Chains A and B, each alone.
Chain A
Amino acid sequence: MMTTLELFTVGGYRLAAGRSYDEATHLWVETVAEGAARCGFDPLGSETSGDVVAVSFEPVGTSVERGQAFGSLEAAKFVGPLIAPISGTIRAHNGEVVARPGLVNQDPMAHWLIEVQPSRPDEELALLLRDPDRVRAWFAAEVEKFERQGAITQ
Protein backbone atom coordinates (compact mmCIF):
# COMPACT_ATOMS: atom_id res chain seq x y z
CA MET A 1 0.00 0.00 0.00
CA MET A 2 1.52 3.34 -1.02
CA THR A 3 0.94 6.19 1.38
CA THR A 4 1.71 9.81 0.70
CA LEU A 5 3.75 11.51 3.39
CA GLU A 6 2.61 14.92 4.48
CA LEU A 7 5.82 16.52 5.69
CA PHE A 8 6.70 19.62 7.65
CA THR A 9 10.13 21.05 8.41
CA VAL A 10 11.66 21.92 11.79
CA GLY A 11 15.23 23.19 12.04
CA GLY A 12 15.97 21.89 8.58
CA TYR A 13 14.64 18.39 9.32
CA ARG A 14 11.55 16.92 7.70
CA LEU A 15 8.98 15.29 9.95
CA ALA A 16 5.79 13.51 8.93
CA ALA A 17 2.41 14.76 10.04
CA GLY A 18 -0.03 12.27 11.50
CA ARG A 19 2.56 10.37 13.47
CA SER A 20 3.36 10.23 17.17
CA TYR A 21 6.87 11.01 18.40
CA ASP A 22 8.62 9.57 21.45
CA GLU A 23 10.71 12.21 23.18
CA ALA A 24 12.94 9.70 24.95
CA THR A 25 13.93 7.49 22.02
CA HIS A 26 13.51 9.70 18.95
CA LEU A 27 11.31 7.06 17.38
CA TRP A 28 8.03 7.72 15.63
CA VAL A 29 4.91 5.57 15.76
CA GLU A 30 2.35 5.38 12.97
CA THR A 31 -0.92 3.51 13.27
CA VAL A 32 -1.57 1.38 10.20
CA ALA A 33 -4.18 -1.21 9.19
CA GLU A 34 -5.90 -3.46 11.76
CA GLY A 35 -4.69 -1.37 14.68
CA ALA A 36 -1.07 -2.29 14.08
CA ALA A 37 1.65 0.31 14.54
CA ARG A 38 4.93 0.89 12.78
CA CYS A 39 7.99 2.39 14.48
CA GLY A 40 10.92 4.17 12.92
CA PHE A 41 13.61 6.74 13.65
CA ASP A 42 12.94 10.43 13.49
CA PRO A 43 15.70 12.36 11.65
CA LEU A 44 17.59 13.31 14.80
CA GLY A 45 17.48 9.76 16.10
CA SER A 46 19.17 8.42 13.00
CA GLU A 47 21.53 11.31 12.39
CA THR A 48 22.95 11.49 15.91
CA SER A 49 23.69 7.77 15.79
CA GLY A 50 26.07 8.32 12.86
CA ASP A 51 26.21 6.21 9.72
CA VAL A 52 24.13 3.14 10.51
CA VAL A 53 25.84 -0.07 9.40
CA ALA A 54 23.56 -2.73 10.91
CA VAL A 55 20.19 -3.14 12.60
CA SER A 56 18.80 -6.27 14.20
CA PHE A 57 15.46 -6.99 15.82
CA GLU A 58 13.92 -9.43 18.28
CA PRO A 59 12.08 -12.22 16.43
CA VAL A 60 8.57 -11.76 15.08
CA GLY A 61 6.14 -12.87 17.78
CA THR A 62 8.21 -11.42 20.64
CA SER A 63 6.35 -9.29 23.15
CA VAL A 64 8.11 -6.07 24.06
CA GLU A 65 7.29 -3.54 26.75
CA ARG A 66 7.55 0.19 26.28
CA GLY A 67 11.05 1.18 27.43
CA GLN A 68 12.58 -2.22 26.69
CA ALA A 69 14.87 -3.13 23.80
CA PHE A 70 13.30 -4.55 20.65
CA GLY A 71 16.60 -4.71 18.78
CA SER A 72 19.95 -3.03 18.35
CA LEU A 73 21.64 -0.59 16.06
CA GLU A 74 25.30 -0.43 15.06
CA ALA A 75 26.74 2.74 13.58
CA ALA A 76 30.31 3.62 12.64
CA LYS A 77 31.38 4.53 16.18
CA PHE A 78 28.32 3.70 18.23
CA VAL A 79 26.16 0.74 19.12
CA GLY A 80 23.05 0.81 21.20
CA PRO A 81 19.69 -0.79 21.90
CA LEU A 82 16.52 0.15 20.05
CA ILE A 83 14.01 1.00 22.76
CA ALA A 84 10.32 0.37 22.20
CA PRO A 85 8.16 3.52 22.34
CA ILE A 86 5.05 1.38 22.89
CA SER A 87 4.34 -2.12 24.19
CA GLY A 88 3.13 -4.88 21.91
CA THR A 89 3.94 -8.00 19.94
CA ILE A 90 6.32 -7.72 17.00
CA ARG A 91 4.40 -8.58 13.80
CA ALA A 92 7.02 -7.80 11.17
CA HIS A 93 10.50 -6.44 10.50
CA ASN A 94 11.36 -4.16 7.63
CA GLY A 95 13.64 -6.45 5.65
CA GLU A 96 14.62 -3.61 3.33
CA VAL A 97 16.24 -1.77 6.25
CA VAL A 98 17.95 -4.90 7.52
CA ALA A 99 19.46 -5.40 4.07
CA ARG A 100 20.32 -1.72 3.56
CA PRO A 101 20.72 -0.08 6.98
CA GLY A 102 21.88 3.19 5.40
CA LEU A 103 18.24 3.84 4.43
CA VAL A 104 17.70 4.82 8.05
CA ASN A 105 20.06 7.75 7.51
CA GLN A 106 18.90 8.61 4.00
CA ASP A 107 15.19 8.93 4.70
CA PRO A 108 14.18 7.91 8.21
CA MET A 109 10.58 9.00 7.92
CA ALA A 110 10.05 6.72 4.92
CA HIS A 111 11.58 3.59 6.43
CA TRP A 112 9.95 1.87 9.36
CA LEU A 113 11.88 -0.61 11.49
CA ILE A 114 9.26 -2.91 13.03
CA GLU A 115 5.52 -3.34 13.04
CA VAL A 116 3.85 -4.24 16.33
CA GLN A 117 0.40 -5.14 17.53
CA PRO A 118 0.08 -2.70 20.43
CA SER A 119 -1.03 -4.14 23.75
CA ARG A 120 -1.97 -0.82 25.41
CA PRO A 121 -2.46 1.63 22.54
CA ASP A 122 -4.85 4.07 24.20
CA GLU A 123 -2.72 4.41 27.30
CA GLU A 124 0.70 4.56 25.64
CA LEU A 125 0.01 6.54 22.48
CA ALA A 126 -1.19 9.30 24.78
CA LEU A 127 2.34 9.49 26.21
CA LEU A 128 3.78 10.41 22.81
CA LEU A 129 3.73 13.79 21.07
CA ARG A 130 1.26 14.14 18.22
CA ASP A 131 -0.01 17.70 18.31
CA PRO A 132 1.93 19.53 15.52
CA ASP A 133 2.68 22.59 17.64
CA ARG A 134 4.05 20.49 20.49
CA VAL A 135 6.06 18.36 18.06
CA ARG A 136 7.55 21.48 16.49
CA ALA A 137 8.50 23.02 19.84
CA TRP A 138 10.04 19.82 21.16
CA PHE A 139 11.96 19.03 17.99
CA ALA A 140 13.36 22.56 17.63
CA ALA A 141 14.65 22.36 21.20
CA GLU A 142 16.22 18.97 20.47
CA VAL A 143 18.02 20.33 17.39
CA GLU A 144 19.49 23.08 19.55
CA LYS A 145 20.50 20.57 22.21
CA PHE A 146 22.30 18.29 19.77
CA GLU A 147 24.01 21.26 18.14
CA ARG A 148 25.33 22.33 21.54
CA GLN A 149 26.56 18.80 22.14
CA GLY A 150 28.33 18.76 18.77
CA ALA A 151 26.49 15.64 17.66
CA ILE A 152 25.26 17.07 14.37
CA THR A 153 27.16 18.62 11.51
CA GLN A 154 28.09 22.27 11.60
Chain B
Amino acid sequence: MTPLVQIDDQLEVSSQTSPDWVRISYASALALRFKSGRFQRPFDFGGINLLLTYDQGCRSDCGYCGLARSRQGAYEDKSFIRVEWPLVGTDELVDRMAEHEEKLTRLCISMVTHGYAYRDTLEITRRIRSRLATPLSILVAPPTLNEERLRALKDAGTDMIGIGLDAVTEELFRQIRSDVPRGGLKWDNYWNIVHQARDLYGPWKVNCHTLVGLGETDHDLIGIFDDLLERQIFSYLFCFNPEPDSRMAEHPKTPVRRWRRVQLAKFLLEECGLEPGAFDYDDEGTLARIHAPAELVERAVRDGHAFMTNGCPSAGGEPGCTRPMGSWRPTEAPRDYPWQPTDADRAAVLEQLHLDEILRPGPGPGPSRPPERWAPPAAGRPAV
Protein backbone atom coordinates (compact mmCIF):
# COMPACT_ATOMS: atom_id res chain seq x y z
CA MET B 1 0.00 0.00 0.00
CA THR B 2 1.32 3.42 -0.95
CA PRO B 3 2.34 5.31 2.20
CA LEU B 4 0.32 8.38 3.10
CA VAL B 5 1.69 11.80 3.85
CA GLN B 6 1.82 12.48 7.59
CA ILE B 7 -0.83 15.00 8.64
CA ASP B 8 -0.31 17.04 11.78
CA ASP B 9 -3.50 16.11 13.59
CA GLN B 10 -4.89 16.06 17.06
CA LEU B 11 -8.18 14.53 16.12
CA GLU B 12 -11.24 15.36 18.10
CA VAL B 13 -14.82 14.69 17.13
CA SER B 14 -17.79 16.80 18.12
CA SER B 15 -21.41 16.44 17.18
CA GLN B 16 -21.41 18.56 14.00
CA THR B 17 -18.54 17.25 11.94
CA SER B 18 -18.26 15.08 8.85
CA PRO B 19 -19.41 12.53 7.88
CA ASP B 20 -22.75 13.37 9.52
CA TRP B 21 -22.43 17.08 8.74
CA VAL B 22 -21.08 18.94 5.74
CA ARG B 23 -20.93 22.49 4.54
CA ILE B 24 -22.49 23.39 1.19
CA SER B 25 -21.81 26.35 -1.06
CA TYR B 26 -24.14 29.30 -0.74
CA ALA B 27 -25.34 28.72 -4.32
CA SER B 28 -26.06 25.08 -3.47
CA ALA B 29 -28.01 26.18 -0.40
CA LEU B 30 -30.12 28.46 -2.60
CA ALA B 31 -30.73 25.73 -5.19
CA LEU B 32 -31.76 23.21 -2.53
CA ARG B 33 -33.73 25.84 -0.60
CA PHE B 34 -31.73 25.58 2.60
CA LYS B 35 -31.35 29.35 2.21
CA SER B 36 -33.66 32.00 0.83
CA GLY B 37 -32.45 34.34 -1.85
CA ARG B 38 -31.79 34.59 -5.53
CA PHE B 39 -29.07 34.88 -8.12
CA GLN B 40 -28.21 38.14 -9.80
CA ARG B 41 -29.43 36.74 -13.11
CA PRO B 42 -31.93 33.88 -13.11
CA PHE B 43 -30.48 30.70 -14.62
CA ASP B 44 -30.69 26.95 -14.13
CA PHE B 45 -28.24 25.93 -11.45
CA GLY B 46 -27.65 22.34 -10.40
CA GLY B 47 -23.99 21.97 -9.41
CA ILE B 48 -24.01 21.09 -5.73
CA ASN B 49 -20.74 21.57 -3.84
CA LEU B 50 -20.16 19.90 -0.47
CA LEU B 51 -17.23 20.65 1.83
CA LEU B 52 -16.07 18.42 4.67
CA THR B 53 -16.18 20.08 8.07
CA TYR B 54 -14.18 19.50 11.27
CA ASP B 55 -13.74 21.35 14.51
CA GLN B 56 -10.05 21.86 13.82
CA GLY B 57 -10.70 22.69 10.18
CA CYS B 58 -8.24 22.15 7.38
CA ARG B 59 -4.73 21.26 8.53
CA SER B 60 -3.16 23.06 5.57
CA ASP B 61 -2.20 26.70 5.63
CA CYS B 62 -2.28 28.03 2.07
CA GLY B 63 -1.65 31.74 1.75
CA TYR B 64 -4.70 32.57 -0.35
CA CYS B 65 -7.28 30.29 1.25
CA GLY B 66 -10.10 31.25 3.56
CA LEU B 67 -9.81 27.93 5.37
CA ALA B 68 -6.07 28.33 6.10
CA ARG B 69 -5.12 27.03 9.50
CA SER B 70 -3.35 30.20 10.63
CA ARG B 71 -6.08 32.56 9.37
CA GLN B 72 -7.58 34.26 12.40
CA GLY B 73 -11.01 33.32 13.72
CA ALA B 74 -12.95 30.21 14.63
CA TYR B 75 -13.11 27.68 11.83
CA GLU B 76 -16.90 27.65 11.74
CA ASP B 77 -16.89 31.40 11.13
CA LYS B 78 -14.39 31.32 8.28
CA SER B 79 -15.53 32.12 4.79
CA PHE B 80 -14.36 30.03 1.86
CA ILE B 81 -14.13 31.65 -1.56
CA ARG B 82 -15.36 34.71 0.32
CA VAL B 83 -18.85 33.56 1.26
CA GLU B 84 -20.51 31.62 4.04
CA TRP B 85 -20.85 27.85 3.52
CA PRO B 86 -23.97 26.80 5.46
CA LEU B 87 -23.68 23.73 7.70
CA VAL B 88 -26.23 21.00 7.00
CA GLY B 89 -26.83 17.44 8.17
CA THR B 90 -25.57 14.99 5.54
CA ASP B 91 -28.67 12.80 5.60
CA GLU B 92 -30.97 15.80 5.33
CA LEU B 93 -28.84 17.05 2.43
CA VAL B 94 -29.05 13.70 0.66
CA ASP B 95 -32.83 13.69 1.17
CA ARG B 96 -33.06 17.20 -0.23
CA MET B 97 -30.84 16.41 -3.22
CA ALA B 98 -32.94 13.33 -3.99
CA GLU B 99 -36.08 15.47 -3.85
CA HIS B 100 -34.60 17.98 -6.30
CA GLU B 101 -32.57 15.55 -8.39
CA GLU B 102 -34.29 16.44 -11.65
CA LYS B 103 -32.55 19.81 -11.62
CA LEU B 104 -29.16 18.62 -10.36
CA THR B 105 -26.33 18.45 -12.88
CA ARG B 106 -23.19 17.54 -10.91
CA LEU B 107 -22.26 16.89 -7.30
CA CYS B 108 -18.82 17.48 -5.84
CA ILE B 109 -17.34 16.72 -2.45
CA SER B 110 -14.43 18.98 -1.53
CA MET B 111 -12.08 17.32 0.91
CA VAL B 112 -9.93 19.26 3.34
CA THR B 113 -6.56 18.16 4.67
CA HIS B 114 -7.55 16.24 7.78
CA GLY B 115 -6.88 12.80 9.16
CA TYR B 116 -10.49 11.68 8.79
CA ALA B 117 -11.08 13.23 5.39
CA TYR B 118 -10.69 10.05 3.33
CA ARG B 119 -12.80 7.92 5.66
CA ASP B 120 -15.56 10.51 5.70
CA THR B 121 -15.47 11.24 1.98
CA LEU B 122 -15.92 7.54 1.27
CA GLU B 123 -18.84 7.37 3.69
CA ILE B 124 -20.53 10.46 2.22
CA THR B 125 -19.97 9.11 -1.30
CA ARG B 126 -21.74 5.89 -0.32
CA ARG B 127 -24.66 7.77 1.25
CA ILE B 128 -25.04 9.87 -1.90
CA ARG B 129 -24.73 6.94 -4.24
CA SER B 130 -27.37 4.98 -2.33
CA ARG B 131 -29.95 7.61 -3.28
CA LEU B 132 -28.78 9.61 -6.33
CA ALA B 133 -27.51 8.91 -9.84
CA THR B 134 -26.26 12.46 -10.52
CA PRO B 135 -22.56 12.28 -11.43
CA LEU B 136 -20.20 12.84 -8.53
CA SER B 137 -16.75 14.42 -8.49
CA ILE B 138 -14.33 14.70 -5.61
CA LEU B 139 -11.95 17.61 -5.20
CA VAL B 140 -9.31 15.69 -3.31
CA ALA B 141 -6.85 16.54 -0.55
CA PRO B 142 -3.76 14.70 -1.85
CA PRO B 143 -2.02 14.25 1.53
CA THR B 144 -4.93 12.08 2.65
CA LEU B 145 -4.88 9.76 -0.38
CA ASN B 146 -2.99 7.05 -2.17
CA GLU B 147 -3.73 4.78 -5.11
CA GLU B 148 -5.79 2.32 -3.08
CA ARG B 149 -7.95 5.07 -1.66
CA LEU B 150 -8.47 6.65 -5.08
CA ARG B 151 -9.62 3.27 -6.32
CA ALA B 152 -12.00 2.86 -3.38
CA LEU B 153 -13.58 6.24 -4.12
CA LYS B 154 -14.02 5.19 -7.76
CA ASP B 155 -15.56 1.90 -6.74
CA ALA B 156 -17.95 3.79 -4.49
CA GLY B 157 -19.28 5.76 -7.47
CA THR B 158 -17.05 8.77 -8.08
CA ASP B 159 -16.50 9.41 -11.79
CA MET B 160 -14.17 12.44 -11.77
CA ILE B 161 -11.28 13.59 -9.59
CA GLY B 162 -10.14 17.19 -9.16
CA ILE B 163 -6.81 18.24 -7.74
CA GLY B 164 -6.52 21.80 -6.46
CA LEU B 165 -3.03 22.52 -7.65
CA ASP B 166 -3.82 26.25 -7.74
CA ALA B 167 -0.18 27.41 -7.85
CA VAL B 168 1.13 26.33 -11.26
CA THR B 169 4.89 26.32 -10.67
CA GLU B 170 6.86 24.38 -8.10
CA GLU B 171 8.46 27.56 -6.75
CA LEU B 172 5.14 29.33 -6.34
CA PHE B 173 3.59 26.25 -4.75
CA ARG B 174 6.47 26.12 -2.29
CA GLN B 175 6.13 29.80 -1.38
CA ILE B 176 2.36 29.77 -0.91
CA ARG B 177 1.52 26.23 0.13
CA SER B 178 4.68 24.51 1.45
CA ASP B 179 6.82 27.04 3.31
CA VAL B 180 3.93 28.29 5.43
CA PRO B 181 3.46 28.93 9.15
CA ARG B 182 1.69 25.63 9.80
CA GLY B 183 0.98 22.47 7.80
CA GLY B 184 2.82 22.73 4.49
CA LEU B 185 1.86 20.73 1.40
CA LYS B 186 4.17 18.99 -1.06
CA TRP B 187 4.28 19.65 -4.81
CA ASP B 188 5.45 16.08 -5.52
CA ASN B 189 2.63 14.61 -3.47
CA TYR B 190 0.09 16.60 -5.50
CA TRP B 191 1.54 15.42 -8.81
CA ASN B 192 1.72 11.81 -7.66
CA ILE B 193 -2.01 11.95 -7.00
CA VAL B 194 -2.60 13.62 -10.39
CA HIS B 195 -0.80 10.77 -12.13
CA GLN B 196 -2.40 8.02 -10.06
CA ALA B 197 -5.86 9.48 -10.60
CA ARG B 198 -5.25 9.75 -14.35
CA ASP B 199 -4.21 6.11 -14.50
CA LEU B 200 -7.20 4.93 -12.50
CA TYR B 201 -9.99 7.18 -13.76
CA GLY B 202 -8.90 7.48 -17.39
CA PRO B 203 -8.64 10.27 -19.99
CA TRP B 204 -10.62 13.45 -19.35
CA LYS B 205 -11.80 12.18 -15.97
CA VAL B 206 -9.23 14.14 -13.96
CA ASN B 207 -8.85 17.88 -13.64
CA CYS B 208 -6.33 20.23 -12.10
CA HIS B 209 -7.42 23.57 -10.71
CA THR B 210 -5.13 26.40 -11.83
CA LEU B 211 -5.40 29.82 -10.27
CA VAL B 212 -4.61 32.98 -12.23
CA GLY B 213 -3.09 35.75 -10.19
CA LEU B 214 -0.89 34.15 -7.53
CA GLY B 215 2.33 35.45 -9.11
CA GLU B 216 2.75 33.12 -12.07
CA THR B 217 3.34 34.29 -15.63
CA ASP B 218 1.13 33.70 -18.65
CA HIS B 219 3.95 31.53 -19.98
CA ASP B 220 3.75 29.36 -16.85
CA LEU B 221 -0.01 28.99 -17.26
CA ILE B 222 -0.01 28.10 -20.94
CA GLY B 223 2.84 25.69 -20.27
CA ILE B 224 0.84 23.77 -17.68
CA PHE B 225 -2.32 23.85 -19.81
CA ASP B 226 -0.33 22.19 -22.58
CA ASP B 227 1.29 19.69 -20.23
CA LEU B 228 -2.09 18.62 -18.83
CA LEU B 229 -3.67 18.58 -22.29
CA GLU B 230 -1.03 16.13 -23.49
CA ARG B 231 -1.88 13.90 -20.53
CA GLN B 232 -5.62 14.16 -21.32
CA ILE B 233 -6.24 15.92 -18.02
CA PHE B 234 -8.53 18.96 -17.88
CA SER B 235 -7.24 22.30 -16.62
CA TYR B 236 -9.92 24.20 -14.76
CA LEU B 237 -9.26 27.91 -14.60
CA PHE B 238 -9.93 30.02 -11.52
CA CYS B 239 -9.40 33.73 -10.99
CA PHE B 240 -7.65 34.76 -7.79
CA ASN B 241 -9.98 36.84 -5.66
CA PRO B 242 -8.42 38.02 -2.38
CA GLU B 243 -9.94 36.38 0.70
CA PRO B 244 -10.27 38.91 3.54
CA ASP B 245 -7.85 38.23 6.44
CA SER B 246 -5.92 35.60 4.52
CA ARG B 247 -2.17 36.13 4.17
CA MET B 248 -2.76 37.22 0.56
CA ALA B 249 -5.68 39.51 1.40
CA GLU B 250 -3.79 42.53 0.07
CA HIS B 251 -2.55 40.78 -3.08
CA PRO B 252 -4.27 42.46 -6.05
CA LYS B 253 -6.97 40.71 -7.99
CA THR B 254 -5.98 39.69 -11.51
CA PRO B 255 -6.67 42.51 -13.99
CA VAL B 256 -9.60 41.59 -16.19
CA ARG B 257 -7.64 42.07 -19.43
CA ARG B 258 -5.05 39.51 -18.40
CA TRP B 259 -7.74 37.14 -17.17
CA ARG B 260 -9.66 37.29 -20.46
CA ARG B 261 -6.50 36.73 -22.51
CA VAL B 262 -5.58 33.68 -20.45
CA GLN B 263 -9.12 32.29 -20.88
CA LEU B 264 -8.87 32.84 -24.64
CA ALA B 265 -5.37 31.38 -24.98
CA LYS B 266 -6.41 28.28 -23.02
CA PHE B 267 -9.40 27.75 -25.28
CA LEU B 268 -7.37 28.23 -28.46
CA LEU B 269 -4.81 25.73 -27.19
CA GLU B 270 -7.25 23.11 -25.96
CA GLU B 271 -10.10 23.29 -28.46
CA CYS B 272 -8.88 25.12 -31.55
CA GLY B 273 -5.70 23.22 -32.31
CA LEU B 274 -3.07 25.87 -31.58
CA GLU B 275 0.30 24.64 -30.31
CA PRO B 276 2.26 26.42 -27.55
CA GLY B 277 4.50 27.91 -30.25
CA ALA B 278 1.56 30.02 -31.43
CA PHE B 279 1.95 32.21 -28.35
CA ASP B 280 4.72 34.79 -27.88
CA TYR B 281 5.63 36.40 -24.57
CA ASP B 282 7.48 39.49 -23.49
CA ASP B 283 10.54 39.37 -21.23
CA GLU B 284 8.32 38.98 -18.16
CA GLY B 285 6.40 36.04 -19.54
CA THR B 286 3.27 38.01 -20.33
CA LEU B 287 1.32 36.98 -23.41
CA ALA B 288 2.28 39.43 -26.16
CA ARG B 289 1.15 37.86 -29.45
CA ILE B 290 -1.10 35.12 -30.71
CA HIS B 291 -0.10 33.73 -34.09
CA ALA B 292 -3.38 32.56 -35.52
CA PRO B 293 -5.83 33.54 -38.24
CA ALA B 294 -7.83 36.49 -36.99
CA GLU B 295 -11.00 34.75 -38.12
CA LEU B 296 -10.26 31.75 -35.88
CA VAL B 297 -9.65 33.91 -32.83
CA GLU B 298 -12.67 36.09 -33.46
CA ARG B 299 -14.83 33.00 -33.91
CA ALA B 300 -13.58 31.67 -30.57
CA VAL B 301 -14.55 34.95 -28.91
CA ARG B 302 -17.98 34.94 -30.54
CA ASP B 303 -18.54 31.31 -29.52
CA GLY B 304 -18.28 32.38 -25.88
CA HIS B 305 -17.42 29.04 -24.30
CA ALA B 306 -13.87 30.21 -23.65
CA PHE B 307 -15.26 32.55 -21.02
CA MET B 308 -17.60 30.16 -19.25
CA THR B 309 -16.86 28.46 -15.95
CA ASN B 310 -14.58 25.46 -16.27
CA GLY B 311 -16.20 22.61 -14.41
CA CYS B 312 -17.17 18.98 -14.49
CA PRO B 313 -20.03 18.22 -16.89
CA SER B 314 -23.48 16.84 -16.28
CA ALA B 315 -24.35 13.29 -17.34
CA GLY B 316 -25.50 14.71 -20.67
CA GLY B 317 -22.37 16.77 -21.29
CA GLU B 318 -23.96 20.07 -20.34
CA PRO B 319 -22.22 22.45 -17.90
CA GLY B 320 -22.48 20.65 -14.57
CA CYS B 321 -20.49 22.58 -11.98
CA THR B 322 -20.80 26.29 -12.70
CA ARG B 323 -19.90 27.97 -9.36
CA PRO B 324 -21.81 31.24 -9.90
CA MET B 325 -19.89 34.19 -8.48
CA GLY B 326 -17.02 32.02 -7.29
CA SER B 327 -14.54 34.49 -8.72
CA TRP B 328 -16.51 37.74 -8.60
CA ARG B 329 -18.93 39.64 -6.45
CA PRO B 330 -22.46 40.31 -7.63
CA THR B 331 -21.48 43.98 -7.92
CA GLU B 332 -18.82 43.06 -10.48
CA ALA B 333 -18.99 41.84 -14.06
CA PRO B 334 -18.67 38.04 -14.25
CA ARG B 335 -15.16 36.66 -14.60
CA ASP B 336 -16.34 33.23 -15.72
CA TYR B 337 -19.90 32.95 -16.92
CA PRO B 338 -22.07 30.21 -15.42
CA TRP B 339 -24.38 30.62 -18.40
CA GLN B 340 -23.78 30.84 -22.15
CA PRO B 341 -22.59 34.44 -22.57
CA THR B 342 -25.19 36.70 -24.10
CA ASP B 343 -24.51 39.13 -26.93
CA ALA B 344 -23.94 41.85 -24.32
CA ASP B 345 -21.60 39.60 -22.35
CA ARG B 346 -19.57 38.80 -25.47
CA ALA B 347 -19.37 42.46 -26.43
CA ALA B 348 -18.00 43.24 -22.97
CA VAL B 349 -15.45 40.43 -23.26
CA LEU B 350 -14.30 41.67 -26.66
CA GLU B 351 -13.75 45.13 -25.25
CA GLN B 352 -11.82 43.74 -22.29
CA LEU B 353 -9.55 41.63 -24.49
CA HIS B 354 -8.11 44.45 -26.63
CA LEU B 355 -7.46 41.83 -29.30
CA ASP B 356 -5.73 44.30 -31.60
CA GLU B 357 -2.81 44.42 -29.17
CA ILE B 358 -2.10 40.68 -29.20
CA LEU B 359 -3.37 39.36 -32.49
CA ARG B 360 -0.64 39.36 -35.14
CA PRO B 361 -2.10 40.83 -38.32
CA GLY B 362 -2.48 38.53 -41.28
CA PRO B 363 -3.69 35.00 -41.79
CA GLY B 364 -1.37 33.32 -39.22
CA PRO B 365 -0.22 29.71 -39.31
CA GLY B 366 -3.53 28.22 -38.13
CA PRO B 367 -4.19 25.12 -36.06
CA SER B 368 -1.39 22.57 -36.20
CA ARG B 369 -2.30 20.25 -33.34
CA PRO B 370 -4.11 17.20 -34.74
CA PRO B 371 -7.71 16.90 -33.51
CA GLU B 372 -7.00 13.69 -31.61
CA ARG B 373 -4.78 15.77 -29.31
CA TRP B 374 -7.45 18.40 -28.63
CA ALA B 375 -9.47 18.48 -25.44
CA PRO B 376 -13.09 17.36 -25.67
CA PRO B 377 -15.48 20.27 -26.29
CA ALA B 378 -16.22 22.41 -23.28
CA ALA B 379 -19.35 21.34 -21.45
CA GLY B 380 -22.42 22.35 -23.41
CA ARG B 381 -20.50 23.10 -26.60
CA PRO B 382 -21.29 20.84 -29.53
CA ALA B 383 -18.29 19.12 -31.11
CA VAL B 384 -17.24 20.78 -34.37
Q: Which residues of A contact B (CB under 8 A)?
A: 47-51, 74-80, 150-154
Contacts and interface: CB of A to CB of B under 8 A. Distances in A.
B34 A153 contact: yes
Given A77-B40, A150-B33, 12 more contacts: A47-B36, A50-B36, A50-B37, A51-B26, A51-B37, A76-B83, A77-B27, A77-B38, A78-B40, A79-B40, A79-B331, A152-B36
A77 B39 contact: yes
Nearest to A44: B36
B42 to A, nearest CB: 9
A51 B39 CA distance: 12
Contact of B33 (A76, A77, A79, A154): A154
Nearest to B33: A154
Most A-side CB within 10 Å, residue of B26, B38, B96, B331: B38
A153 B96 CA distance: 12
Nearest to B37: A50
Nearest to B324: A77
B34 A78 contact: no
The number of chain B residues touching the other chain, given as a range, is: 20 to 34
A80 B330 CA distance: 9
Most A-side CB within 10 Å, residue of B27, B31, B37, B325: B37
Given A51-B84, A76-B83, A151 B38 contact: yes
A76 B84 contact: yes
Interface in B173-221: none
A49 B36 CA distance: 8
A143 to B, nearest CB: 11
B354 interface: no
Contacts of B331: 74, 79
Contacts of A150: 31, 33
A76 B96 CA distance: 22
B91 to A, nearest CB: 15
A50 B330 CA distance: 12
Contacts of A76: 26, 37, 83-84, 330
A151 B37 contact: yes
Given A77-B30, A77-B325, A152-B33, A49 B38 contact: yes
11 contacts: A49-B38, A50-B36, A76-B26, A77-B38, A77-B324, A78-B38, A79-B329, A150-B33, A151-B36, A152-B33, A153-B33
Contacts of A152: 33, 36
A79 B333 CA distance: 11
Contacts of B38: 48-50, 77-78, 151
